[in-house]
Amino acid sequence: MADTDQDKGKSDSYRVAVNDKPKAKSSPKKSKKDDLEDLKKELVLDDHFISWDELLSRHPGANITTERAAQILERDGLNELTPPKTTPEWIKFAKQLFGGFQTLLWIGSILCFFSFTTEYIMNDEPPLKDNLWLGIVLAGVVIITGIFSYYQEAKSSKIMEGFKNMIPPYATVIREGKKDQILASKLVVGDIVEVKGGDRIPADLRVIDSKSLKVDNSSLTGESEPQSRGNQPTNENPLETRNIMFFSTNAVEGTAVGFVFRTGDNTVMGRIANLASGLDVGSTPIKKEIDHFIHIITGVAVFLGVSFFALSFFLGYKLLESIVFLIGIIVANVPEGLLATVTVCLTLTAKSMAAKNCLVKNLEAVETLGSTSTICSDKTGTLTQNRMTVSHMWFDDQIHDADTTEDQTGESFDKKSPSWVSLSRIAALCNRATFKPNQDDVAILRRDCTGDASESALLKCVELSVGNVEQMRADHVKVCEIPFNSTNKYQLSIHEFENNDKDSDLLLVMKGAPERCLEKCSTILMNGKERPMDDNNKEAFNKAYLELGGLGERVLGFCHLALPRNEFPKNFEFNADDVNFPLDGFCFVGLMSMIDPPRSAVPDAVAKCRSAGIKVIMVTGDHPITAKAIAKSVGIISEGNETVEDIAARLNISVKDVNPRDANACVIHGSELKTKSKEDLRDILKNHAEIVFARTSPQQKLIIVEGCQAAGAIVAVTGDGVNDSPALKKADIGVAMGQAGSDVSKQAADMILLDDNFASIVTGVEEGRLIFDNLKKSIAYTLTSNIPEISPFLMFIVLNIPLPLGTVTILCIDLGTDLWPAVSLAYEPAESDIMKRMPRDPINDKLVNQRLISVSYGQIGMMQAAAGFFAYFIILSENGFMPGYLINLREAWDDRNQNSLKDSFGQEWTYEQRKILEFTCHTAFFASIVIVQWADLIICKTRRNSLFQQGIFSNKVLCSGLVFETCLACFMSYCPGLDNGLRMFPLHFTWWFPALPFSIAIWVYDECRRYLLRRYPGGWVERETYY
């Protein structure tokens, strides 16, 4: 027999995530990428299937000495998980200081210091400190934003810490025939370990002997039902076999002795840990969009800066003057407040989502969820309630629906039926589950229980339907019990129960596998009366059993027997080991089936996802029948859509004869997925709209996510178990469960659902889409003012006129008046079609696209620049300098030694008087930009709807932003002392008005543009201007 087992193990071993070789230091030539690819593979494991002789020859041990254990420990290392290498914090900080716009601003700052130092050295008189202060401000902006960004990024992944918390501190080991407690980290391959209920498994163990041991593998496989363990291999798949206990899973009840054959990183869980922590996570979609935006603006800034630096040389300007032009172009092009705007927008949305039970760990993940086109959802606890619940009963030859709603508002059945009274009695008495104390105020379905999931479900069902199970048990004292075991497949108990009709004082009750219960019965209970069991009853039983099993439910049979008083008096001594009571001739009472039912809000959430163009895929470790049943009940598989199995059953043909393309839905088993190539997987994802993956391993979940991403999807993954952590980490956004989720899954995820409800994801999708829309609006608003900021320097060089707008004044706009209004757009409510659009195309639908640049720069920006120059020329004209006279006046204007410069009317102006007039023009140009930005802010509220549809006053924060920027502009203009620091001078009241007509024109122009968008959808205006 051992040889047969051995041959089986070699011929068709199941591939799973463990090595066959002892842990050793990886080759220095092997790259991190190779290691990760190795971890993704499902390598051969047959330690559970080979004979004990071969296992011991492969892993010499069993009763090893302390000295030998020390040698193995030296060879393999400690039984613990190796933390991944991390990037030093100073490198992370340096990246924040010298990336993106920061490099441009550093260049601008250095040029400012260079310009000031050169002027200071070359001139006898002390130079103006404008360049010094500008250099300090630019450096300050870089450092502050760098610190801010570093703080956000510092919330680095702590996945390994979560795995470390799963490792038990001590283990009971047998060495040299002696039992001892040692640190679990000192366990070695070949050790013999004792495990009991409540322990955490300290390594991968092959069972030597088991006494009713059950383990909770839910963190590894996703199954909520505890699994019994024995010393015989029952399946080639190590995750399914009963003779392996996995590192870090929990023993629920019973005792066992096991042989250590894997430790530390080499365990199944160790490989998952290394895979999850070692995965390289790509940039989030919003980061890619901002990087794309930075590249555009940097390109524009460098091109314009270098071009005009060269042009100024060509036109005969001095080096210092050319450097001033370069600084001005850089400062005008870079939106210094962008990072703050984006971060505040994301933070506000994250707070809004937290109020809706979505806790965001990574701010950038807020927008990612809105970009999601595929959701790979775990089943247990996400789509379902994560508690086994009685869903159906079969008695009196009829299937009855149990109420599985969370608030018990569903339909019910006749609870006074004699058959139901008997069935509920057996369910209550033949049951070891109890409610934990001090939960009287907790709803029955939400109470915690001691005992396995199925018995807890039966307890809650009877407590809800009949009431006070504890009192029922007290009235019917248990006098004998045979616990459930995998050989008998039933549980039996005998209770005091006076029944004069049956001349009995004792009632034997049994529950277990339906077919085992049925074969022990000779009668059946119908409408409260016993009848002989006939073929019709058996056929009805089989039909009900198949129907409930086909729904993916766990079915239990229930029967009882009144023990005759003359053979079994009240004081009869029963013996459960040497059975001295009947084990057949029972009366079959009925069936009860259980399932982890779907959450009530999930079907509607799935429907909303579908209408928003989001594909929902179920990826679970549970059984395919159960997964399919839940998928159909929540709408992941739509009504009327068939799998190949459904088509084969309908046409009464073999599954092999069905063309897979004919099926719109499919259910893929993990063992089937194992044999498929990447191309096959891509074909499945492309050609099936509704997909369920069942019995998947952690590596397969990761491969599914990578397959979706390779097809161009932005993928969100939901999960709660350790087995989900690699997929959560690899996904564009990982969503963990806050209540049922493991620490590892929470640390791998970007977002946590505090209520474990899939429906909360739909809220997140809407918020994510809204933030992308609002960021687009905010950037459109911010960029528009770049043209009136750049154009003064261009005119300054080309027309050789006095500078219309200073660099410090530009910073007053970017970091002052524009900041609150830009942030206020984050509060803008959603437009009406936000959840009816398809997910955005990450390739073509950019945050900043050609159309946005065209509208911001080429249309609105030009109108704003015209407003600024209009105010500039009016002020100079009123002071004697007519527009034509200003051309080629710059050299004389900026000459310190020229104190008798004549204007158009012959009046003489000193250098100081001219500079005061120039700075007044700067202030007027600044005020004009503020006034035209009023209109720009209002038109940015909506991209398609009319302002009258969206509501002009719908965003109170935006209204306050208008007031803020106006008040700040007045403060900067009229506050005493600011003429020294900011070079801002008081304006005459009438100088505020020249820009007002331009502001009105901007509003009218954009309202007409949006009218044409709505009037002619898909037309030229939409193609060229809808951003």
What are the residue numbers of the active site? 378
DSSP-derived secondary structure letter, 449: E
Q: Is 614 exposed, middle or buried (0-12, 13-18, 19+ CB in 10 A)?
A: buried
Longest dimension (CA), the chain: 135
Residues 763 and 360: beta-carbon distance below 8 Å: no
Sign of CA dihedral 876, 878, 883, 888: negative
Sign of CA dihedral 788, 794, 800, 806: positive
Residue type, position 86, single letter: T
Q: Are 842 and 907 in contact (CB under 8 A)?
A: no
What is the spatial distance between Cα 386 and Cα 690, in angstroms, rounded to a whole number?
A: 23
Cβ pair 756, 774 in contact under 8 A:
no
- 């200073």: which residue's tokens? 806
Query: For residues 200 and 247, what is the distance between their CA atoms, to the nearest angstrom?
Result: 8
Q: Which helix (H) or strand (E) covers residue 90, if one does?
A: helix 89-97
Q: Is 8 exposed, middle or buried (0-12, 13-18, 19+ CB in 10 A)?
A: middle
Integer CA distances (angstroms), 950 to 763, 781, 858, in order: 21, 17, 25
What are the strands of the beta sheet with 715-719, ordered from one edge? 358-360, 751-753, 733-737, 715-719, 374-377, 615-619, 690-694, 665-669
Q: Is 578 helix (H, G, I), strand (E, B) or coil?
A: coil
* Sign of the CA dihedral with 1022 first, then 1024, 1025, and 1026 last: positive
Return the structure tokens found at 154. 């510092």
User: What's the Cα-to-Cα distance from 368 to each of 254, 326, 712, rounded to whole Å?
Assistant: 46, 37, 14
Alpha helices in 656-723 (DSSP H): 670-674, 678-687, 698-710
Tell me, what amino acid is at 180? Answer: D
Cα distances (angstroms) measured from residue 427 to each of 411, 454, 456, 545, 1008: 21, 11, 10, 18, 72
Helix (H, G, I), strand (E, B) or coil at 690: strand
Q: CA–CA distance from 811 to each of 320, 776, 867, 982 (Å)?
A: 21, 22, 19, 10
Name which of 455, 365, 443, 359 is nearest 406 in CA terms.
443
CB-based contacts of 310, cutoff 8 Å, min separation 6: none
Structure tokens at 727: 């997929």
Measured CA angle at 918 (ends 913, 923), to 5 deg: 125
Q: Which two tokens stand for residue 330?
A: 């850089």
Phi-psi sector, 62: left (phi>0), alpha (psi -120 to 50), beta? left
Neighbours of 781 (CB within 10 A): 24
